[in-house]
Structure 1
Amino acid sequence: MMIRAACAALLMLPAAAVAQDMPRVEEQSIDALRAQMAQGTSSVAITQAYLARIAAMDRTGPTLRAVIATNPDALAQAKASDARRKSGRPLGALDGIPVLIKDNIETSDPLATTAGSLALRDNVTRRDAPVVALLRKQGAVILGKTNLSEWANIRSTHSISGWSAVGGLVRNPYALDRTSCGSSSGSGAAVAASFAAVAIGTETDGSVVCPSSMNGLVGLKPTLGMVSRTHVVPISHSQDTPGPMARSVRDAALLFNAMVGVDPADPATRDARPHMHDFAAPLATASLSGVRIAVLHPEMLDSLKARYDASLAVLKAQGAVLVDVEAPKLEGIGEAELLVLQTELKADLDAYLSTTPKAVKTRSLDQVIAFNQANAASEMPFFAQETFVAAAQTRGLSDPEYLGARAKSLRLAGAEGIDALLGKAQATLIVAPTYGMPWLSDTVYGDTFNGPSASELPAISGYPHLTVPMGVVRGVPVGLSFITTRWGDQTVLNAGYVFEQAAKARVVPTYAATNDAGPGLAGAR
Structure 2
Amino acid sequence: MRLNVAALVGAVSLVSAATVPPYTGTIINGERFPTLIDVTLEDLNTGLESGLFTSVDLVTAYMDRINEVNSTLHMVTELNPDALSIAAEADAMRANGTILSPLHGIPILIKNNIATADEMNNTAGSFSLLGATVPNESTMAAKLRKAGVVILGKANLSQWANFRSSNSSNGWSAYGGQTYGAYYPGQDPSGSSSGSGVSSSIGLALASLGTETSGSILSPSEVNNLVGIKPTVGLTSRYLVIPISEHQDTIGPMARTVKDAAYLLQAIAGPDIAGDNYTAAIPWANNTAAAPDYVAACDYSSFAGKRIGVARNVLEIYGQYTDAPVLSAFEEAITQIEAAGATIVDANFTAFEAWQTDGNETLVLNADFLSGLANYFDSLTYNPYDLADLAEERNFTRSFPAEDYPERDTAVWDGALEQGWNNTDPRFWPAYQANLFYGGEGGILGALERTNTSAVLLPTQLSPSIPALVGSPVVTVPMGFYPANWTVTMNSIDTLVSTGPQIPFGLSFMGRKWSEAELIGFAYAYEQRTMHRNEVQPYLVPNIELADVVALKAS
TM-score (norm 1): 0.88
Aligned-partner residue type, residue 480 of structure 1? L
State the partner residue of 1:15: none
CA distance in 2 between partners of 1:379 and 1:158 (Å): 11
Deviation at 1:101, TM superposition (A): 0.5
State the partner residue of 1:486: 513
Deviation at 1:473, TM superposition (A): 1.6
Deviation at 1:512, TM superposition (A): 6.2
Q: What whole-Å deviation, never above 9, does each CA across 1:257-289 have from its counterpart, x for those lacking one?
A: 000121122110013224633210131364201
Q: Show the 5 A alignment for 1:489-500.
A: 489-500=516-527
Say yes or no: does 1:307 pair with 2:329: yes
Say yes or no: does 1:269 pair with 2:279: yes
Aligned-partner residue type, residue 142 of structure 1? I
Aligned-partner residue type, residue 270 of structure 1? A
Say yes or no: does 1:137 pair with 2:146: yes
Say yes or no: does 1:110 pair with 2:135: no
CA distance in 2 between partners of 1:191 and 1:52 (Å): 15
Percent identity between the two aligned chains: 35
> Which residue, out of 459, 465, 470, partners 1:433?
459
Say yes or no: does 1:397 pair with 2:423: yes
CA distance in 1 between partners of 2:255 and 2:342 (Å): 25
Instruction: Number of aligned residue pairs: give it.
Output: 482
> Which residue, out of 136, 158, 162, partners 1:127?
136
State the partner residue of 2:350: 328
> Which residue, out of 361, 364, 367, partners 1:337?
361
State the partner residue of 1:372: 397
CA distance in 2 between partners of 1:43 and 1:512 (Å): 25
Q: What whole-Å deviation, never above 9, does each CA across 1:161-191 have from its counterpart, x for those lacking one?
A: 1100011111011013221110000000000
Taking structure 1 as reference, are residues 332 and 470 closer, same or farther at Cα in structure 2, changes over 3 Å only? closer
> Which residue, out of 303, 314, 317, partners 2:339?
317
Say yes or no: does 1:189 pair with 2:192: no
> Which residue, out of 38, 46, 64, partners 1:35?
46
Deviation at 1:305, TM superposition (A): 1.4
Deviation at 1:481, TM superposition (A): 0.4
Q: Show the 5 A alignment for 1:47-126.
A: 47-59=59-71, 63-125=72-134
Say yes or no: does 1:25 pair with 2:24: no
> Which residue, out of 434, 443, 449, partners 1:423?
449
Give me the CA root mean square deviation.
2.2
CA distance in 1 between partners of 2:345 and 2:6 (Å): 52
CA distance in 2 between partners of 1:502 and 1:24 (Å): 22
Structure having greater relative contact order (Cα 8 Å, sep ≥ 6)? 2
- Contact 1:307/1:473 (CA < 8 Å) preserved in 2? no
Taking structure 1 as reference, are residues 206 and 397 closer, same or farther at Cα in structure 2, changes over 3 Å only? same
Gaps of 5+ in 2: 9-31, 484-501, 542-555
CA distance in 1 between partners of 2:459 and 2:243 (Å): 28
Say yes or no: does 1:227 pair with 2:251: no
- Contact 2:298/2:520 (CA < 8 Å) preserved in 1? yes
> Which residue, out of 384, 396, 410, partners 1:385?
410
Gaps of 5+ in 1: 9-20, 436-452, 514-525
CA distance in 1 between partners of 2:435 and 2:105 (Å): 42
CA distance in 1 between partners of 2:351 and 2:281 (Å): 31
Q: What whole-Å deviation, never above 9, does each CA across 1:427-485 have from its counterpart, x for those lacking one?
A: 111000001xxxxxxxxxxxxxxxxx210111111111000001212311001000011
> Which residue, out of 377, 389, 400, partners 1:353?
377
TM-score (norm 2): 0.83
Taking structure 1 as reference, are residues 24 and 505 closer, same or farther at Cα in structure 2, changes over 3 Å only? closer
Deviation at 1:7, TM superposition (A): 9.3
Find the residue that maps to 2:143 and give its secondary structure. Answer: helix
Deviation at 1:491, TM superposition (A): 1.1
- Contact 2:123/2:130 (CA < 8 Å) preserved in 1? yes
Q: What whole-Å deviation, never above 9, does each CA across 1:493-519 have from its counterpart, x for those lacking one?
A: 010000000111114532269xxxxxx
Find the residue that maps to 1:4 and give its secondary structure. Answer: coil
CA distance in 2 between partners of 1:75 and 1:51 (Å): 10
- Contact 2:5/2:67 (CA < 8 Å) preserved in 1? no
Aligned-partner residue type, residue 311 of structure 2? L
- Contact 2:180/2:187 (CA < 8 Å) preserved in 1? yes
Deviation at 1:67, TM superposition (A): 0.4
- Contact 1:431/1:481 (CA < 8 Å) preserved in 2? yes
Deviation at 1:327, TM superposition (A): 3.8
Taking structure 1 as reference, are residues 57 and 240 closer, same or farther at Cα in structure 2, changes over 3 Å only? same
